[in-house]
Amino acid sequence: MTASDVQKLFMTEAEELLTEMEDALLSLEADSENIELINQLFRAMHTIKGAAGIFNYSAIVDFTHPIETSIDKVRKNELKIDCALIALLLKCKDHTWALVNAAVEDDEAALNTLSIQSQLILTELGRHENIESCFPQTIAAEPITPERIEGHYLDTGHWLISLDFRADTLRNGLDPLSFIRYLHQLGQVLEVICLSHKLPSFEACDFESCFLRYRIIFAGNCTKEQIESVFEFAQDDCDIQILPSQKISESFQALIEQLNPSENQRLGEILLSIGAITEKELAKSLHLQSDNADDSTTKKLGEVLIANQLVDKPVVEQALKKQTQAREQAQTIRVDSNRLGQLINLVGELVTASAAMKVMVDRYHFLDANDLVGCVEHLVQEIRENALQLRMVQIGETFSRFRRVVRDVSNELGKQIELTIQGGESELDKIVVEKINDPLTHLVRNALDHGIEQPQERINAGKSAVGHLMLNAFHDSGHIVIEVTDDGAGLNPERIRKKAELLGLVDVNQVLSHAEILRLAFEPGLSTKEKASNLSGRGVGMDVVKRNIEALRGSVELDSELGKGTKITITLPLTLAIIDGFMVGAANENYVIPLNMVEECVELNQGEWHEQQKNYISLRGELMPFIRLKSFFNIPNANQYNHRESLVVVRFGRTKAGIVVDKLFGEQQTVIKPLGKMFQHLKGLSGATILGTGDIALILDVQGLITEVSISAKKYHHVALIDE
């Protein structure tokens, strides 16, 4: 690893931490009591500071250190987190990122300017803290702890020991008092409360039985285990509980936090290792757990421990979290994306090679090798699927980045906007995710700026003052569909039309449907907002969005109703590398149709279509327009009449259409090879693939093909109208 590699790693890590920090900050706006989020903030700053220290990036260290201190104050309840502080910390986060960039690039000049800004931000932070500390601390923020119940004796570092002696204690020759005396050797017994409510009436009393119940408040610098050992002899005759005070409980949590996670540590082991429970307690709880095992609802160890008051709930939660964290950490490996790309390329070669082998075996009739070929083919397919899966990432991360955008923009514009995210767990290729980010940002900004109106305007229009923006993602026939929906003003079709007429895109007399007018919004130069803002509205938006998405073999659709809102639907292929294909032949050329778009294949009844010279048939009563591939592609020497044509029914979203071909070859794994820049304007073909024979087949872009055909059909229609 070279120095620059390490720096790169530092940058990636910093970016991740800062994103995490931003997420935490934004979540804190709604949930300011969440200590875990504050811990996250602290961790982010702390880790970046540490890493920057290693690289000797003093600018970063100097800046992050005071922030870390401030967050620590929040953690200790010395400073309250509020909107102002969150806004300030967001600023700190952005600034840290700028510092990281400048430091890694070793940009002296930038660092100098940034360090002045650092000072400004830190002064602001310092001022905020001072104002804040003038206010008295709110008491309600403190959780209810044992000290509250038992009075105010319990201070930090104290234990509450409850001893409930059983009736037979005295009969067994034990002296309860001796234990308390012995306890003195370990530390200081601050208070002994004797509970007398269980004492029977004088007449009913059995004087040989013991009814003593003590609550002892004990201060001593010792472990739970040591305290427990005091009562070792009494164990059979006494119910003992040793509860830590809040401070000790917190120290347990802190200990768990510091633990080095190892993958398979059990909850009990974790708690034991930090001394939150003793071995005996653990054994007892496990025993209890297995005793109840036949119940339909077996309790988890953590639940048992909490139910028996052996451990505080937060401690168990912390331990469980550490456990899952350890598992997650053990299950993820950072891999250079180039290496992954290489692997996928190799898998692509493997697919081609295996297809070539199959062709060979078939050609020379190696019957013995048939099974083997089948086996290899199956394995290759599995490898392929797994390899592609490696590059799949959830879209949720991309979506949640917009929380910040929405927050900033709505503040800037004085709008109230709520962002809803759905389907964040939908997966797609990392490359697609990266490339979709820009267009998506554009759409979101558009929706925020143009779509959603000012609160007053919304109320006047009879809508709630808070605007809603929704990002949604789901899978559909081998594609991922991303929807950006807002409940804002919607697009004004008349204005779009007028603008389009001005630009000469449409004729004044031309009759256009609602959908067609909306589609015009994707034409270059159309931005309906009269006033361009610094967010959007320069008219370079939508056509660029459309172009970017189409470059990914995707499509974008727009639906809008004036006054009700706008919905933009983006459809993208899940992966750009390898697909399952369905190979067909037209005249002497081979084409591959993505298998997940193929609905069915039907043999064409030639009598039906050939006489009519029309490009539609009735498929079981359903009207099915079709494209005859060999005429659409002008395949030379394709005029000979074919008696056995087939109709491949393809579906894209709600659109169904037929493709008429001469031959059906069947399924095959298809490695998509891009055709290159030279073919970038080619519609209807999305790439090429190399067949087992070494020949090339072109891959049909079904959606592009259908769109292209329907557009030219409409033009034809308009021409016909004008001619009349």
Partner 1 sequence: MNQLVNVGLTNSVGDITQYLTFQSANDTFAIGILDVKEIIEIEGITRVPMMPEFLCGIINLRGKVVPVIDLSKRLGRLSTVISKKSCIVLVEISHEDEQQTIGMLVDEVNEILEIDDEHTQPPPDFGADLRVDFIRAMGRVGEHFMILLDINYVLSVADISAISQLNFRTAEANDEVL
Binding residue for partner 1 (CB under 8 A) from 197, 334, 654, 681? 681
Binding residue for partner 1 (CB under 8 A) from 198, 334, 339, 677? 677
Spatial CA neighbour of 322 closest among 698, 39, 7: 39
Do the Cβ atoms of 89 and 44 come closer than 8 Å?
no
Q: How far is the CB of 85 from partner 1 (least distance, A)?
A: 46
Binding residue for partner 1 (CB under 8 A) from 511, 695, 710, 721? 695
Q: How far is the CB of 669 from partner 1 (least distance, A)?
A: 15
Nearer CB in complex with partner 1: 654/681: 681
Number of H helices, E strands in the chain: 24, 21
Nearer CB in complex with partner 1: 71/705: 705
Pseudo-torsion of CA 660, 661, 662, 665, nearest 10°?
-140
- The C-alpha atoms of residue 674 and residue 552 are separated, in whole angstroms, by 11
Binding residue for partner 1 (CB under 8 A) from 684, 686, 702, 704? 684
- The C-alpha atoms of residue 174 and residue 151 are separated, in whole angstroms, by 30
719 scored as a contact of partner 1 (CB under 8 A) = yes
The contact pattern for partner 1, residues 168-207, with x = CB under 8 A and - = no contact, is ----------------------------------------
Burial class (CB in 10 A: 0-12, 13-18, 19+), 141: exposed
Tokens of 388: 């592609």
Burial class (CB in 10 A: 0-12, 13-18, 19+), 651: middle
Q: How far is the CB of 348 from partner 1 (least distance, A)?
A: 8
The contact pattern for partner 1, residues 587-606, with x = CB under 8 A and - = no contact, is --x-----------------
- The C-alpha atoms of residue 696 and residue 683 are separated, in whole angstroms, by 18
Nearer CB in complex with partner 1: 474/716: 716
Binding residue for partner 1 (CB under 8 A) from 10, 231, 399, 633? 633
349 scored as a contact of partner 1 (CB under 8 A) = yes
683 scored as a contact of partner 1 (CB under 8 A) = yes
Strand partners, 627: 659
Subset of 393-422 contacting partner 1 (CB under 8 A): none
Nearer CB in complex with partner 1: 398/689: 689
Subset of 278-317 contacting partner 1 (CB under 8 A): none
- The C-alpha atoms of residue 112 and residue 329 are separated, in whole angstroms, by 38
DSSP designation for 505: S
514 scored as a contact of partner 1 (CB under 8 A) = no
716 scored as a contact of partner 1 (CB under 8 A) = yes
Binding residue for partner 1 (CB under 8 A) from 680, 686, 704, 724? 680
- The C-alpha atoms of residue 187 and residue 222 are separated, in whole angstroms, by 8
Binding residue for partner 1 (CB under 8 A) from 61, 526, 698, 706? 698
Residues 6+ apart with CB under 8 A from 669: 351, 355, 380, 381, 384, 578, 579, 580, 581
Residue with tokens 């919905």: 567
Nearer CB in complex with partner 1: 416/707: 707
Pseudo-torsion of CA 116, 119, 120, 126, nearest 10°?
180
Binding residue for partner 1 (CB under 8 A) from 156, 324, 694, 710? 694
Nearer CB in complex with partner 1: 148/715: 715
Nearer CB in complex with partner 1: 487/589: 589
Burial class (CB in 10 A: 0-12, 13-18, 19+), 700: buried
Spatial CA neighbour of 150 closest among 79, 236, 215: 215
685 scored as a contact of partner 1 (CB under 8 A) = yes
643 scored as a contact of partner 1 (CB under 8 A) = no
688 scored as a contact of partner 1 (CB under 8 A) = yes
Pick the piece of the chain touching partner 1 (CB under 8 A) from 311-319, 370-378, 483-491, 688-696: 688-696
Binding residue for partner 1 (CB under 8 A) from 634, 637, 639, 640? 634
Q: How far is the CB of 380 from partner 1 (least distance, A)?
A: 16
Nearer CB in complex with partner 1: 235/680: 680
- The C-alpha atoms of residue 93 and residue 22 are separated, in whole angstroms, by 7
Nearer CB in complex with partner 1: 64/555: 555
- The C-alpha atoms of residue 278 and residue 419 are separated, in whole angstroms, by 47
**Buried-exposed string 313-336: b where 16+ CB fall within 10 A, e elsewhere:** ebbbebbbebbeebeeeeeeeeee
Rg of the chain over all Cα atoms, to the nearest angstrom: 35
Q: Which long-range contacts (CB under 8 A, 24 or more apart) does 716-719 make?
A: 718/510
How big is the CA angle at 605 (ends 599 and 606), to the nearest 5 degrees?
125
For the chain, the first-to-last Cα distance in angstroms comes to: 74
Q: How far is the CB of 372 from partner 1 (least distance, A)?
A: 23
Q: How far is the CB of 627 from partner 1 (least distance, A)?
A: 12
Could you tell me the maximum CA-CA distance found in the chain, to the nearest angstrom?
A: 117
Q: How far is the CB of 696 from partner 1 (least distance, A)?
A: 4
Pairing state of beta strands 589-594 and 696-700?
A: parallel
Nearer CB in complex with partner 1: 322/630: 630
519 scored as a contact of partner 1 (CB under 8 A) = no
507 scored as a contact of partner 1 (CB under 8 A) = no
Helix (H, G, I), strand (E, B) or coil at 569: strand
Subset of 654-673 contacting partner 1 (CB under 8 A): 673
- The C-alpha atoms of residue 210 and residue 194 are separated, in whole angstroms, by 13
Helix (H, G, I), strand (E, B) or coil at 585: strand
Pick the piece of the chain touching partner 1 (CB under 8 A) from 275-283, 462-470, 486-494, 686-694: 686-694
Q: How far is the CB of 719 from partner 1 (least distance, A)?
A: 5
**Helix (H), strand (E) at residue 589:** strand 589-594
Binding residue for partner 1 (CB under 8 A) from 87, 286, 505, 635? 635
- The C-alpha atoms of residue 63 and residue 66 are separated, in whole angstroms, by 6
Residues in the interface with partner 1 (CB under 8 A) total 32
Pick the piece of the chain touching partner 1 (CB under 8 A) from 405-413, 502-510, 592-600, 634-642: 634-642
712 scored as a contact of partner 1 (CB under 8 A) = yes
Binding residue for partner 1 (CB under 8 A) from 690, 701, 702, 706? 690
Neighbour count for residue 205 (Cβ, 10 Å): 11
Binding residue for partner 1 (CB under 8 A) from 245, 352, 668, 670? 352
Applying CB under 8 A, which residues contact partner 1? 349, 352, 589, 632-636, 673-685, 688, 690, 694-698, 712, 715-716, 719
